[in-house]
Chain A
Amino acid sequence: ETGVTQTPRHLVMGMTNKKSLKCEQHLGHNAMYWYKQSAKKPLELMFVYNFKEQTENNSVPSRFSPECPNSSHLFLHLHTLQPEDSALYLCASSRGGTNEKLFFGSGTQLSVL
């Protein structure tokens, strides 16, 4: 148990659907992240929130929309996704200082049909 919980674990959606991924951390951390992991590729950073403020948007298409209502919760809203968006989406948190290690949630395995 890493203290970072993600739901759902698996998600299958059509290209016209709207869905949301949820992440909650119980570690008292101040920074939260969304990563995308595709097969045989390095983890790709999507978004970073520090103290609820978005500090990084790594050229992510607008069909992915993050929301961070407080430092413990993070959402990723999905709409009109493409099949190539199928991947493992990982949430992570850290204390928020410089060069801090990350603690990951178990991920959402997303399939877009």
Chain B
Amino acid sequence: RKEVEQDPGPFNVPEGATVAFNCTYSNSASQSFFWYRQDCRKEPKLLMSVYSSGNEDGRFTAQLNRASQYISLLIRDSKLSDSATYLCVVINNNDMRFGAGTRLTVKP
């Protein structure tokens, strides 16, 4: 089993749709979790941290489920500009593991 797994997609959704991605991890001792966004041929950029209590930033909501060992990212009212690859990151004692990313395309 991979240490961090993501559905590669692609997810193709219309503008205004709600879309959710999951990211599962194998190390139950993992301590910190992040979502990054990467546009084509560009560097990953931090989208949001994932807290145990869940957190929301505008149209984006991130949640952590320790019991089932996954994190999720929910995007509401998706925009064309949300088209990108979303990478999850799982960290344990500075050992940082990236998922391979989920590709999202938002269409008009």
Interface residues of A (CB under 8 A from B): 2, 40-43, 45, 88, 90, 98-99, 101-107, 109
Contact = CB atoms under 8 A, between A and B. Distances in A.
A45 B96 contact: yes
B49 interface: yes
Contacts of A42: 4, 87, 97-101
Interface of B: 4, 8, 31-32, 34, 41-46, 49, 87, 89, 91, 93-94, 96-101
A2 B45 contact: yes
A41 B98 CA distance: 9
A106 B100 contact: no
B100 A41 contact: yes
Contact of B91 (A2, A99, A106): A99
Contacts of A109: 41
Contacts of B41: 88, 109
Contacts of B43: 2, 90, 104-107
Nearest to B101: A42
Contacts of B8: 40
Contact of B44 (A40, A41, A43, A99): A43
Given A43-B98, A99-B31, A106 B42 contact: yes
- Classify the secondary structure of B's interface with A: strand
Nearest to B32: A99
Nearest to A98: B94
> Which 7 A-B pairs have CB atoms at the shortest separation, nearest pair first?
A99-B32, A104-B43, A43-B98, A42-B98, A42-B100, A99-B91, A106-B43
Contacts of B45: 2, 104
Nearest to A44: B98
A99 B31 CA distance: 8
Contacts of B32: 99
Nearest to A103: B46
A40 B43 CA distance: 14
Contacts of A90: 43-44
21 contacts: A2-B45, A41-B100, A42-B4, A42-B87, A42-B97, A42-B98, A42-B99, A42-B100, A42-B101, A43-B44, A43-B98, A45-B96, A88-B41, A90-B43, A98-B93, A98-B94, A99-B31, A99-B91, A99-B93, A102-B44, A102-B89
